[in-house]
């Protein structure tokens, strides 16, 4: 591809590809809309609202991702839900305290949930979204009636996530889509090229000169220090709602046996589900399996008589 060639993109025109790749019945475009929620300080968070009924589930993506990472899961579920672009990601404005401050992020997310999904039956959080969900459960417990952590615990640290961080902190820009796709394929050898290209179109933008940049902002951390999530173990210990950990078993996972054991020590009633065919991004590697696990753990709202 030559630099400068425009690549067309319609964020709502690719769902048929998600459905086809994973064998999900598809009888036409789903009802999905993008909403923006003001935070009172001039910033806004963006979300995808699936369905026309009140959202039953809230989804929080991982660092350097965006709300579209849940598209295939949403199609498999077929339930009304809310997928939020975390601060500094997707179409949302920056976080008030940077890229990965989960306490500030939880406050921002709470404002969106209160406006768009106040009666949601549960929150699903992957990676950074999972840590944000724990902070949300601590600071806004009425908004988290059940919690699903997708391949993350407070035991995640710089060592366990080094490969992911190296990818996220790569080049600032790419001359064309081909180069960006090649780097992404090298980082995700188990995923189809078509799914990775689709993900790039949702998570990057093309500039006027034809080059590409990621949508997420790499806001500098204080003194360059990585975030510390270990204090959130205390939230696990005190969590009043049902908890499910979905753990990928491929090498890319950031959860190890020690993390799983610690979670069960602190929350003996928690459930743990292993997904052998998935790494860290369970929603990308095994979205239909993840949808089934979510459905079983947080059943759909009973139909009115």
* pLDDT tens figures, 42-69: 999 999 999 999 999 999 999 999 999 9
pLDDT, mean of residues 178-203: 95
pLDDT, mean of residues 117-129: 98
The answer, yes or no, to whether residue 39 has pLDDT greater than 50, is yes
Q: What is the CATH number of domain 15-297?
A: 3.40.50.1820
pLDDT of residue 99: 76
Q: Which amino acids are annotated catalytic?
A: 127, 151, 280
The answer, yes or no, to whether residue 265 has pLDDT greater than 60, is yes
For the chain, what are the domain ranges? 15-297
| Three-state secondary structure of the chain | CCCCCCCCCCCCCCHHHHHHHCCCCCCCCCCEEEEEEECCCCCEEEEEEECCCCCCEEEECCCCCCHHHHHHHHHHHCCCEEEECCCCCCCCCCCCCCCCCHHHHHHHHHHHHHHHCCCCCEEEEECHHHHHHHHHHHHCHHHCCCEEEECCCCCCCCCCCHHHHHHHCCCCCECCHHHHHHHHHHHCCCCCHHHHHHHHHHHEEECCCCCEEECCCCCCCHHHCCCCCHHHHHHHHHCCCCEEEEEECCCCCCCCHHHHHHHHHHCCCCEEEEECCCCCCHHHHCHHHHHHHHHHHCCCCCCCC
The answer, yes or no, to whether residue 224 has pLDDT greater than 90, is no
**What is the value of pTM for the model shown?**
0.96
Q: How confident is the model at residue 246 (pLDDT cuts 50, 70, 90)?
A: very high
pLDDT of residue 272: 98
Mean of pLDDT over the chain: 94
pLDDT of residue 228: 87
Q: How confident is the model at residue 131 (pLDDT cuts 50, 70, 90)?
A: very high
Q: How confident is the model at residue 302 (pLDDT cuts 50, 70, 90)?
A: confident
pLDDT of residue 304: 65
The answer, yes or no, to whether residue 259 has pLDDT greater than 60, is yes
């Amino acid at each position: 591809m030559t630099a400068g060639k425009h690549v067309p993109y319609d964020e709502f025109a690719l769902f048929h590809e998600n459905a086809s790749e994973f064998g999900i019945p598809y009888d036409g475009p789903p009802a999905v809309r993008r909403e923006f929620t003001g935070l009172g300080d001039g910033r806004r968070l963006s979300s995808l609202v699936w369905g026309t009924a009140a959202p039953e589930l809230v989804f929080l993506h991982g660092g350097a991702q965006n709300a579209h990472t849940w598209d295939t899961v949403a199609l498999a579920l077929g339930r009304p839900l809310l997928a939020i672009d975390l601060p500094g990601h997707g179409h949302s404005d920056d976080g008030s305290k940077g890229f990965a401050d989960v306490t500030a992020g939880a406050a921002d997310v709470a404002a969106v949930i209160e406006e768009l999904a106040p009666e949601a039956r549960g929150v699903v959080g992957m990676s950074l979204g999972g840590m944000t969900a724990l902070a949300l459960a601590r600071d806004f417990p009425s908004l988290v009636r059940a919690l699903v952590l997708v391949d993350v615990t407070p035991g995640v640290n710089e060592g366990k996530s080094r490969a992911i961080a190296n990818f996220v902190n790569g080049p600032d820009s790419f001359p064309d889509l081909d180069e960006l796709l090649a780097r992404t394929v090298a980082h995700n050898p188990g995923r189809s090229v078509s799914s990775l290209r689709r993900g790039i179109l949702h998570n990057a933008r093309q500039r006027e000169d034809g080059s590409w940049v990621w949508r997420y902002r790499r806001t500098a951390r204080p003194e360059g220090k990585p975030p510390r999530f270990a204090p959130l173990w205390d939230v696990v210990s005190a969590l009043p709602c049902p908890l499910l950990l979905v753990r990928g078993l491929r090498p890319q996972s950031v959860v190890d046996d020690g993390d799983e054991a610690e979670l069960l020590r602190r929350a003996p009633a928690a459930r743990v589900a292993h997904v052998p065919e998935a790494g860290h991004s369970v929603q990308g590697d095994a979205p239909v399996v993840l949808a089934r696990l979510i459905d079983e753990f947080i059943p759909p709202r009973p139909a009115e008589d």
